[in-house]
Amino acid sequence: MLDDGTFTQLRQPKAAGALALDGTWHQISRRYVTSQFVQNAIFLAIIIVAAVVLAVLFHQTWAWIPAGVIVLITVVTLVILPRQARAIGYMLRADDIVFRRGILWQRMIAVPYGRLQLVDITHGPLDRAFGVAQLKMVTAAATTGVQIPGLTQDAAEALRDTLIAVAETRRTGL
């Protein structure tokens, strides 16, 4: 009675092989940069259209100032985006996963496997179109939540499965 009229089968994620805990750095996909360029281009188009509508149709010439600032900031962000993407990486070690990001302000986070509470994969419509996903790891400490953007779907699923399998063997009590 509960399953009347529901789908007959759930869509299962592809089974990926376990990753080695060998301490080598892994980078994100190059498709992440392309996806971010497209998303920011759509954002810029919306800002420019809004400024044109406000300035031309409603005679609000002040709209060019915030639109120009937003366009300038977004263009600068797009210029440094490829370098930022190359600075993102993760390493699976025997007891933890280490995540790094940043060019000027570099950040490295080590998350012990035994402290992982949730491993989540998310991707928006444009990310799905480019085949990239974001993996999020949550621990009890608010400051150690790690998000790894720009993984391919297969890499995200393999990493999630590996983290879950390793975390189960290394659970620590409080």
Count of Cβ atoms closer than 10 Å to residue 42 Cβ: 11
pLDDT digits (tens, 9 = 90+) for 4-43: 666 666 555 555 567 889 999 999 999 999 999 999 999 9
CA-to-CA distance for 135 and 161, rounded, in angstroms?
A: 11
Total-model pTM: 0.84
pLDDT band of residue 174 (cuts 50, 70, 90) is very low
Q: Which of 148, 73, 74, 145 is nearest to 116 (CA)?
A: 145
Output helix, strand, coil percentages for the chain, rounded to the nearest 5: 45, 25, 30
pLDDT digits (tens, 9 = 90+) for 38-59: 999 999 999 999 999 999 999 9
* Ordered domains of the chain (ranges, CATH): 22-174 (2.30.29.30)
